[in-house]
Structure 1
């Protein structure tokens, strides 16, 4: 099944015709956002459009299709194969990963447990369909700077939201895992807490993450990192969006074990990230600072002393 059909299959028959025109350009789509009594919004290459009743993309929302509560309900039922109970654990987390690695985020009214944690949704009123895209080879320009005598530097990818840090991390994982004619592939373990790296569906990665890569899906990072070190003896651990004190403490324990690290963190500058890392900044020998401006993605590569090694377009 191609990417277009994977997304189209999420919609009930009555809405497929409306979605088909916009999905002809699925490779350039980032998100489809729907909400009750809200215009359907299409995010394409970082630009926002509104979907009309006939499937045309509009620059203004005046004549856009306003999604009804019944339409949202029918979409949710279609996504969950008309069995919300079977997807209770996924719904509790607020998102669902479907075939192809695409992720649907949910919002609405929740039901709480007595301890204040989320038990489930009583009603879902907003959806965000995030379309999974791989960019094979994205890491090519940075890889030569991440190895010294065949050893991988602990590397932290930094960027604001939406600049492609998870996409870059995914391709780094793939290439470190697969290796090349001149560089032996390494055993990589991925803690994929939000199913965004491997995009696993029923535990099987939908994205290419390498032949020597094991994936722990939907597991909290802190617990998952130590579990994988104990159970899978990785040479490299990869995690997305670190930031908590517990995450950093786990990374320090991993470093003591001699396991390499590939990680990402939200940030706008090295200074911004240094403040968040504190003493843990010494764990990393390479920092990749990603930016995305005027539809151009670029990266600055720094060593552990914050010296600029290279700046290039990805």
Structure 2
């Protein structure tokens, strides 16, 4: 894993970056590259700079070539979104000078900063909450809500593993992951890198709105799993999945249940009760489980600290940030 990150950089940087990753392995969230300024490590406990490593424009071009395989046109759509996902599920954010066409971003040129987000696999992180998602012999439609870096993808990955492998009294289900940005399964050449379940099939690098229906037609899954829904087309596809009788587990960028309720294009999710369970995560490492009406459900056990949610889990504080 460390080697795949180090290889993005010119040779002169690699050894120092490998040492930094190894030193902060369990504490590092991002590596920030800003041209003509020192490299920055974003840590769970703050940040640190590698003052001796100051990348210039040629270094930035090298990194971009490594990300795109020397073929930027292949990643044109991803670049318009501001990031590229590489093997292992690492997302690399990119900013610089934008080129507009009819008021929309056509491409990003003169790239000045890269943000390498460290992907992680936390086996067992979903175990304490999985029972709350059980509906008789199947699972409730579930939406995982949280801001960036709150652990949504890590959690949904382990939920997929449990549902697709089986656990306790629950038999393994047929799971279909529509992995638009290759972040859930971290696929390379179509083969999942992470453990996502024995009975799990992955549709990689396919738009969610199209992929959900393709997955239903081709693989007849019991449960479909997708990351980062939010567009109008995504919401329409979700309606079709529900009508087909297939279960859903999704993630959504938002800070609370109330924020979804107040969003004009997301409000149908609440009004039509697409989901019976909401897992609301926060950056201050708390989790709340809500039912279809937004009411808090009690938990009968502590969560592990795999997502660094802390060593304590105070039920009285669950609703402080909804």
TM-score (norm 2): 0.83
Give how far 1:81 is off.
4.7
Listed as ranges, the gaps of 5+ residues in structure 1 are 54-64
Q: Cα 1:242–1:82, aligned 2, differ >3 Å: closer, same or farther?
A: closer
- Contact 2:35-2:54 within 8 A present in 1 as well: yes
Q: Distance in 2 between matches of 1:303 and 1:288?
A: 9
1:303 to 291, 309, 313: 291
Alignment of 1:280-295 (within 5 A): 280-281=269-270, 282-293=273-284
Give how far 1:207 is off.
1.8
- Contact 2:172-2:199 within 8 A present in 1 as well: yes
Q: Kindly report the root-mean-square deviation, in angstroms, between the aligned alpha carbons of the 2 structures.
A: 2.4
Q: What is the aligned partner in structure 2 of residue 61 from structure 1?
A: none
- State whether structure 2 residue 38 is matched by structure 1 residue 39: yes
Give how far 1:115 is off.
7.0
> What do residues 224-273 of structure 1 show as CA deviations (whole Å, max 9, x unaligned)?
21221222211111111222232222111111110001011222222222
- State whether structure 2 residue 121 is matched by structure 1 residue 134: yes
1:236 to 216, 223, 228: 223
Alignment of 1:139-288 (within 5 A): 139-276=126-263, 277-281=266-270, 282-288=273-279
Listed as ranges, the gaps of 5+ residues in structure 2 are 305-322
TM-score (norm 1): 0.84
Alignment of 1:72-111 (within 5 A): 72-82=60-70, 84=72, 91=79, 94-109=82-97
Q: What is the aligned partner in structure 2 of residue 67 from structure 1?
A: 55
- Contact 1:147-1:153 within 8 A present in 2 as well: yes
Q: What is the aligned partner in structure 2 of residue 13 from structure 1?
A: 11
Deviates more, 1:17-26 or 1:102-111: 102-111
Q: Distance in 2 between matches of 1:233 and 1:142?
A: 26
Q: Cα 1:158–1:122, aligned 2, differ >3 Å: closer, same or farther?
A: closer
